């Protein structure tokens, strides 16, 4: 789920950036540092939408670096248990398949795949129904439900299922090609 | 309506039995443990419509605060609608009138005399109507329950676990990203590089061996407990066919027996839900609408004295809401007559055995379709009576021995009574014996009646009566004096019936029935026929019948056959002809007391 929240961060700026574009430099560095990171608490920071407030800088003794407390607005993405996501399949093996929903990696193990889908090994490993109408392979888009998340300090990993109503393949590149 | 009430009751017991409305932080002492209150409140509400909460509290002997807490809980559960309004005593009186109109008069109390102050009164009502709430609530609850259990039992939403066959190191699917080996895309143990095995494949083996695993097991145990609990609840709810259905269900249970069991346990409820689904929803409407309607109906019923029995069907017959099926009421009737069914059947049997060889309906004796049975019996009797005068006389002399009233007959009657009792207590095994005895008695009686040849014409006349209802009265009345005289003698002889002669009215009839300790058993069956008959007839003709029955037993015999003829119709009419029944209802309720007394005596 996406959230628009205000976060705060202490930015350390090299003294060489001190000058008329100090603020711009600071914001650029903030974006570079923060976007795409993941915190267990807030999830993935997707984008910074604005900087609210930059506090007074504090010059560090010895190094000359200046620390600015910065308040900024950002969009974060955090997966939750029970959430329905659409994801792209990245890897299929006999244990299940991996998929990605933006920055989040999701693993769907084979017992959370409907019973009528069988693993087909081969050049393009895939899960296929007995009548061949539905196929899950690399690059397939699936809708899945998250049934578990593992949140580390810098990482979020999810386990999903497609064994429920309205879940499964929503766009099958193998079928269209 | 009955179904809905039953639904509520079942749901209350299934889901709200151990609900306590106390907060969790409060210490649970024995005194403040109010589990079960929810059930009581819901039950009480099934017997009411809109009711003021204070009145309800008074009726239930609950503190109003306690009740309000429970009701608020139910409101959140969408089982109950509540309405709050500021009102004066006048408003309260309007409500009281409405309550009285629907026959819940006992709860009206003295609200009318309240001070002329503005009070906030709260009313509550079971929420049948609004979007069919209770129905949906229960259904949704069942659905959630079922889904949850199913998911659990199918391990649907559990995180897959993997175990290394070499070092027994365990992994979960959360570790998948680290476990995946770059070369062959299988999961490899981090320490020994052996290929991991999904744990579900191993569970059987592991369940026998080491039990150091834990969370899952505990979970399953909890699940089992839960199921157990549900099971108990089902048992409480009187699910008898449990075993049989379980066997059926075993076919389609998927991963665990308990799942099937759960299905079975819920079957009564789901059945009920299915039934209720098609029924019209009893709509009480909003409080205001209900009051208005109830008052209007109350006025109407006051105008029509014959219809003011709305107390009998307090669930809203009186006030033209949606038509409601009266399953409950009829059921009660059936149950009432269900007890005497046996001796009822056995008695016609006896009388029939005097006539000829037993027809096949004998076999059906133990069964419950008493109406049809009786109908058949009666018809047979009738045809017999039509066949030969002699047989007819025999029967009548037996049935109407009181009317004959000779000393010989008195002894006969004793004999008969004995026989009745015997027939009542003995089951089918003694049927043969009865038959023999009956045959013997038959001869004896025929001899008797032959002796009393003077009575013959009268009895033949009776036969014609039997066939013709209209002529009935005239003949009857003429006969009455002699019959009475005879009867008085006999009564005193036997010390049985106290005041059969004074039998102009129903009340006398009842007294008479109660008076006769031995006679009761015989009269009893006829009495029931009367009841049925009365239902099929108008009030006037019923009066006739009762009058006759009390006057002469000949009359009972007559109406007996007629009752048989009508019984089929009665069965049919009972369901759709409520209007007639209503008229009769009052008298019947009077009679009902008598019947019950008799039943107790007989037994």
Q: What is the pLDDT of residues B308-321, one digit of tens each?
A: 333 333 333 333 33
Question: For the ranges B30-44, B60-74, B349-363, which has the lowest average pLDDT?
Answer: B349-363
Q: What is the pLDDT of residue B113?
A: 38
Q: Which one of A77, A111, A140 terminates a domain?
A: A77
**Whether A111 and B200 lie within 8 Å, measured CB to CB:** yes
Give residues with Cβ within 8 angstroms of B193, minimum separation 6: B181
**Whether B156 and A163 lie within 8 Å, measured CB to CB:** yes
Question: Do residues A67 and A102 both lie within one domain?
Answer: no
CA dist., res. B125 & res. B109, Å (int)? 18
Residue B259 banded pLDDT, cuts 50, 70, 90? low
Give residues with Cβ within 8 angstroms of B550, minimum separation 6: B500, B503, B504, B508, B509, B512
Question: Do residues A42 and A123 both lie within one domain?
Answer: no
Residues B444 and B408 sit within 8 Å (Cβ to Cβ): no
A124 chain-B contacts, CB cut-off 8 A? none
**Is the pLDDT confidence value at B16 over 70?**
yes
CA dist., res. A101 & res. B188, Å (int)? 25
Question: To the nearest whole percent, how much of chain B has pLDDT over 70?
Answer: 21
A91 chain-B contacts, CB cut-off 8 A? 180, 185
Residue B555 banded pLDDT, cuts 50, 70, 90? very low
**Is the pLDDT confidence value at A155 over 60?**
yes
| CATH for the stretch B2-128 | 1.10.10
Residues A7 and A33 sit within 8 Å (Cβ to Cβ): no
Among the partner-chain residues A93, A98, A163, the one whose CB lies closest to the CB of B186 is A93
Beta-strand relationship, A141-151 and B161-163 = unpaired
CA dist., res. B172 & res. B154, Å (int)? 18
Residues 75-134 of A with CB under 8 A from B: 91, 93-96, 98, 105, 107, 109-112, 125
B445 sits in the region (left: phi over 0; alpha: psi -120 to 50; else beta) called alpha
Q: Which one of A59, A77, A95 terminates a domain?
A: A77
* Choice between B110 and B20, residue whose per-residue pLDDT is larger: B20
Question: Do residues A93 and A73 both lie within one domain?
Answer: no
Question: Do residues A125 and A54 both lie within one domain?
Answer: no
Q: Residue B168, Cβ neighbours under 10 Å: how many?
A: 11
Residue B286 banded pLDDT, cuts 50, 70, 90? low
Question: Do residues A98 and A164 both lie within one domain?
Answer: yes
* Choice between A84 and B248, residue whose per-residue pLDDT is larger: A84
Q: What is the pLDDT of residue B137?
A: 77
Chain A: residue whose CA lies nearest to B179: A95
Q: What is the pLDDT of residue B261?
A: 55
pLDDT tens-place string over residues B376-415: 444 444 444 444 444 444 444 444 444 444 555 556 666 6
Question: For the ranges A69-78, B9-18, B592-601, which has the lowest average pLDDT?
Answer: B592-601
B118 touches chain A (CB under 8 A): no
**Is the pLDDT confidence value at B323 over 60?**
no
Q: Which one of A77, A108, A129 terminates a domain?
A: A77
Among the partner-chain residues A94, A105, A161, the one whose CB lies closest to the CB of B186 is A94
Q: Residue A154, Cβ neighbours under 10 Å: how many?
A: 9
CA dist., res. B407 & res. B515, Å (int)? 20
**Domain extents for chain B?**
2-128, 135-276, 335-602
Nearest to A79 by CA among A99, A95, A97: A99
Q: What is the pLDDT of residue B495?
A: 46
Give residues with Cβ within 8 angstroms of A166, minimum separation 6: A143
- As a whole number, mean pLDDT of residues B60-75 equals 80
Q: Which H helix or E strand runs over B285?
A: none
* Choice between B217 and B339, residue whose per-residue pLDDT is larger: B217
B600 touches chain A (CB under 8 A): no
**Is the pLDDT confidence value at B194 over 80?**
yes
Domain, as residue range, for A127: 84-176
Tokens 């003829």 identify what position? B565
- Helix intervals (H) in B183-325: 199-208, 215-236, 242-249, 257-265, 267-278, 287-303
Q: What is the pLDDT of residue B163?
A: 85
CA dist., res. A79 & res. A104, Å (int)? 8
Exposure b/e, B569-600, CB count within 10 A at least 16 = b: ebbeebeeebebbbbbbebbeebbebbeebee
Helices then strands, each counted (H, E), chain B = 27, 6
Question: Do residues A71 and A109 both lie within one domain?
Answer: no
* Choice between B278 and B57, residue whose per-residue pLDDT is larger: B57
**Is the pLDDT confidence value at B100 over 90?**
no
Inter-chain contacts counted by CB atoms under 8 A, chains A and B: 55
**Is the pLDDT confidence value at B326 over 80?**
no
* Choice between B2 and B351, residue whose per-residue pLDDT is larger: B2
Nearest to B534 by CA among B466, B591, B600: B591
Q: What angle do CA A129, A135, A136 make, to 5 degrees?
A: 120
B215 touches chain A (CB under 8 A): no
Among the partner-chain residues B155, B158, B187, the one whose CB lies closest to the CB of A95 is B187
CA dist., res. B395 & res. B382, Å (int)? 11
Q: What is the pLDDT of residue B320?
A: 35
Question: To the nearest whole percent, how much of chain A has pLDDT over 90?
Answer: 57
Residues 145-174 of A with CB under 8 A from B: 147-148, 150, 157, 159, 161, 163-164
DSSP calls for B406-464: -HHHHHHHHHHHHHHHHHHHS-GGGHHHHHHHHHHHHHHHHHHHHHTGGGHHHHHHHHH
Chain B: residue whose CA lies nearest to A149: B174
Compute the nearest-CA separation of A110 from chain B (Å): 9
Among the partner-chain residues A110, A112, A157, the one whose CB lies closest to the CB of B177 is A157
CA dist., res. B401 & res. B490, Å (int)? 10
- As a whole number, mean pLDDT of residues A24-39 equals 92
* Choice between B431 and B527, residue whose per-residue pLDDT is larger: B431
Which token pair is B563?
């009752």
B180 touches chain A (CB under 8 A): yes
Q: What is the pLDDT of residue B42?
A: 80
**Is the pLDDT confidence value at B276 over 70?**
no
* Choice between A150 and B479, residue whose per-residue pLDDT is larger: A150
Nearest to B402 by CA among B394, B411, B410, B392: B410
* C-beta contacts of B388-394 below 8 A and 24+ residues apart: B389/B460, B389/B463, B390/B446, B391/B355, B392/B459, B392/B460, B392/B463, B393/B446, B393/B449, B393/B456, B393/B459, B393/B460, B394/B354, B394/B355, B394/B442, B394/B445, B394/B446, B394/B449
Residues B126 and B281 sit within 8 Å (Cβ to Cβ): no
**Is the pLDDT confidence value at A82 over 70?**
yes
Residue B199 banded pLDDT, cuts 50, 70, 90? confident
Question: Do residues A93 and A168 both lie within one domain?
Answer: yes
**Whether A91 and B155 lie within 8 Å, measured CB to CB:** no
Q: What is the pLDDT of residue A44?
A: 94
- Helix intervals (H) in B452-538: 456-467, 469-494, 506-515, 519-536
DSSP B596: H
- How many residues in total does chain A contain? 177
Q: What is the pLDDT of residue B32?
A: 55
Compute the nearest-CA separation of B200 from chain A (Å): 9
**Is the pLDDT confidence value at B188 over 60?**
yes
ipTM of the complex: 0.76
Give residues with Cβ within 8 angstroms of B462, minimum separation 6: B396, B400, B475, B554, B557, B558
B174 touches chain A (CB under 8 A): yes
Q: At what angle do helices B215-236 and B133-153 cross, to 10 degrees?
A: 140
- Number of folded domains that form chain A: 2
**Mean of per-residue pLDDT scores for chain B:** 56
What is residue B531's three-state secondary structure?
A: helix
Among the partner-chain residues B156, B159, B180, the one whose CB lies closest to the CB of A148 is B159
Cα distances (Å, whole numbers) of residue B47 to B1, B311, B312, B531: 11, 11, 12, 27
Q: Residue B354, Cβ neighbours under 10 Å: how many?
A: 25
End-to-end Cα distance, chain B: 34
Q: Which H helix or E strand runs over B597?
A: helix B578-602
**Is the pLDDT confidence value at B330 over 60?**
no
CA dist., res. A171 & res. A139, Å (int)? 9
Among the partner-chain residues B158, B176, B198, the one whose CB lies closest to the CB of A107 is B176
CA dist., res. B124 & res. B364, Å (int)? 49
- As a whole number, mean pLDDT of residues B501-514 equals 43
pLDDT tens-place string over residues B423-455: 666 666 666 666 767 767 666 655 555 554 444
**Whether A93 and B180 lie within 8 Å, measured CB to CB:** yes
Nearest to B541 by CA among B568, B520, B566: B566
- As a whole number, mean pLDDT of residues B251-270 equals 53
Q: What is the pLDDT of residue B107?
A: 37
**Is the pLDDT confidence value at B357 over 50?**
yes
Compute the nearest-CA separation of A100 from chain B (Å): 12
Residue B15 banded pLDDT, cuts 50, 70, 90? confident
Q: What is the pLDDT of residue A85?
A: 93
Q: What is the pLDDT of residue A49?
A: 94
Q: What is the pLDDT of residue A105?
A: 92
**Is the pLDDT confidence value at B110 over 70?**
no
Question: Do residues A168 and A125 both lie within one domain?
Answer: yes
Residue B43 banded pLDDT, cuts 50, 70, 90? confident
Question: Do residues A8 and A61 both lie within one domain?
Answer: yes
- As a whole number, mean pLDDT of residues B31-49 equals 74
Question: For the ranges B72-86, B141-155, B356-370, B531-545, which has the lowest average pLDDT?
Answer: B531-545
pLDDT tens-place string over residues B444-485: 655 555 554 444 444 444 444 444 444 444 444 544 444 444
Domain holding A120: CATH number?
2.40.50.140
CA dist., res. B48 & res. B316, Å (int)? 9
- Helix intervals (H) in chain A: 22-34, 173-176
Question: Do residues A32 and A105 both lie within one domain?
Answer: no
Cα distances (Å, whole numbers) of residue B195 to A119, B169, B183, B198: 18, 11, 12, 10
**Whether A164 and B173 lie within 8 Å, measured CB to CB:** no
A107 chain-B contacts, CB cut-off 8 A? 173-174, 176-177
Domain holding A37: CATH number?
3.30.1490.120
CA dist., res. B233 & res. B266, Å (int)? 10
Question: Do residues A88 and A172 both lie within one domain?
Answer: yes
Compute the nearest-CA separation of A31 from chain B (Å): 28
Q: At what angle do helices B506-515 and B539-551 cross, to 10 degrees?
A: 40
- B575 beta partners: none
- As a whole number, mean pLDDT of residues B72-91 equals 73
Question: For the ranges B58-67, B71-80, B192-201, B274-283, which has the lowest average pLDDT?
Answer: B274-283
Question: Do residues A167 and A91 both lie within one domain?
Answer: yes
**Is the pLDDT confidence value at B418 over 50?**
yes
B369 touches chain A (CB under 8 A): no
**Whether A157 and B174 lie within 8 Å, measured CB to CB:** yes
Compute the nearest-CA separation of A81 from chain B (Å): 11
Compute the nearest-CA separation of B586 from chain A (Å): 57
Identify the CATH assignment for B135-276 out of 3.30.1300.10, 3.20.20.105, 3.30.70.20, 3.30.40.10.
3.30.40.10
Residues B66 and B38 sit within 8 Å (Cβ to Cβ): no
**Whether A112 and B160 lie within 8 Å, measured CB to CB:** yes
Give residues with Cβ within 8 angstroms of B201, minimum separation 6: none
Which token pair is B133?
């709430």
């Amino acid at each position: 789920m996406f959230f628009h929240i205000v976060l705060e961060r202490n930015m350390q700026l090299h003294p060489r950036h001190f000058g008329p574009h100090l603020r711009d430099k600071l914001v650029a560095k903030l974006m570079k540092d923060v976007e795409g990171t993941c915190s267990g608490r807030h999830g993935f920071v997707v984008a910074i939408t604005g900087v609210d407030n930059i506090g007074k800088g504090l010059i560090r003794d010895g190094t000359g670096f200046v620390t600015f407390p910065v308040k900024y607005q950002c969009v974060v993405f955090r997966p939750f248990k029970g959430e329905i996501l659409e994801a792209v399949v990245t890897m299929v093996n006999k244990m299940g398949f991996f998929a990605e929903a933006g920055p989040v990696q999701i693993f769907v193990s084979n017992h959370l795949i409907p019973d009528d889908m069988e693993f087909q090994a081969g050049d393009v490993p895939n899960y296929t129904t007995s009548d061949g109408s539905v196929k899950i392979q690399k690059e397939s888009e699936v809708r899945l439900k998250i049934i578990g998340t593992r949140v580390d300090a810098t990482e979020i990993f999810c386990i999903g299922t497609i064994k429920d109503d309205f879940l499964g393949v929503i766009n099958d590149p193998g079928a269209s090609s | 309506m009955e179904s809905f009430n039953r639904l509520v009751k079942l749901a209350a017991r299934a889901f709200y039995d151990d609900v306590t409305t106390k907060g969790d932080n409060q210490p649970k002492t024995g005194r403040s443990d109010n589990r079960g209150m929810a059930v009581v409140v819901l039950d009480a509400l099934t017997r009411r419509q809109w009711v003021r909460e204070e009145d309800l509290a008074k009726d239930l002997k609950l503190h109003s605060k306690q009740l309000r807490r429970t009701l608020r809980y139910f409101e959140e559960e969408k089982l109950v609608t509540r309405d709050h309004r500021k009102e004066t005593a006048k408003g309260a009186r309007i409500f009281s009138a409405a309550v009285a109109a629907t026959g819940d008069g006992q709860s009206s109390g003295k609200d009318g005399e309240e001070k002329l102050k503005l009070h906030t009164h709260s009313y509550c009502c079971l929420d049948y109507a609004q979007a069919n709430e209770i129905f949906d609530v229960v259904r949704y609850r069942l659905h959630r329950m079922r889904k949850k259990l199913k998911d659990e039992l199918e391990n649907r939403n559990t995180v897959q676990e993997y175990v290394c066959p070499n070092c027994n190191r365990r992994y979960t699917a959360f570790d998948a990203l680290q476990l995946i080996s770059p070369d062959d895309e299988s999961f490899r143990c981090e320490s020994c590089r052996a290929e991991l095995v999904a744990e579900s494949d191993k569970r059987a083996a592991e369940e026998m061996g080491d039990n150091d695993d834990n969370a899952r097991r505990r979970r399953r145990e909890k699940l089992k407990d839960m199921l157990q609990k549900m099971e108990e609840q089902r048992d409480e709810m009187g699910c008898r066919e449990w075993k049989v259905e379980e066997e059926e269900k075993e076919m389609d249970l998927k991963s665990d027996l308990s799942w099937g069991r759960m299905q079975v346990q819920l079957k009564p409820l789901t059945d009920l839900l299915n039934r209720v689904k098609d029924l019209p929803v009893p709509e009480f409407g909003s409080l205001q609408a209900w009051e208005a309607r109830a008052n209007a109906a109350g006025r109407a019923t006051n105008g029509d004295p014959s219809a003011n029995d709305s107390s009998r069907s307090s669930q809203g017959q009186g006030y033209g809401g949606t038509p409601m099926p009266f399953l409950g009421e009829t059921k009660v009737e059936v149950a009432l007559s269900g007890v005497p069914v046996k001796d009822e059947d056995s008695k016609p049997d006896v009388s029939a055995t005097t006539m000829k060889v037993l027809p096949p309906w004998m076999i059906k004796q133990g069964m419950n379709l008493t109406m049809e049975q009786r109908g058949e019996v009666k018809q047979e009797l009738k045809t017999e009576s039509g066949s030969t005068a002699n047989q007819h006389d025999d029967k009548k002399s037996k049935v109407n021995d009181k009317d004959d009233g000779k000393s010989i007959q008195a002894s006969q009657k004793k004999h008969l009574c004995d026989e009745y009792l015997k027939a009542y207590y003995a089951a089918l095994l003694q049927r043969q014996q009865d038959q023999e005895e009956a045959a013997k008695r038959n001869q004896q009686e025929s001899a008797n009646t032959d002796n009393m040849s003077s009575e013959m014409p009268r009895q033949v006349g009776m036969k014609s009566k039997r066939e013709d209802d209209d002529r009935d009265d005239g003949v009857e009345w003429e006969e009455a004096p002699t019959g009475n005289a005879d009867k008085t003698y006999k009564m005193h002889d036997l010390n049985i019936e106290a005041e059969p002669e004074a039998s102009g009215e129903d009340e006398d009839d009842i007294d008479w029935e109660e008076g006769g300790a031995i006679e009761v058993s015989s009269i009893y069956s006829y009495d029931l026929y009367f009841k049925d008959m009365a239902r099929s007839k108008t009030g006037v003709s019923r009066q006739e019948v009762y009058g006759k029955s009390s006057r002469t037993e000949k009359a009972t015999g007559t109406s007996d056959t007629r009752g048989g003829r009508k019984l089929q119709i009665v069965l049919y009419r009972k369901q759709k002809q409520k209007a007639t029944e209503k008229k009769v209802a009052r008298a019947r309720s009077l009679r009902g007391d008598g019947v019950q007394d008799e039943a107790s005596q007989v037994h």
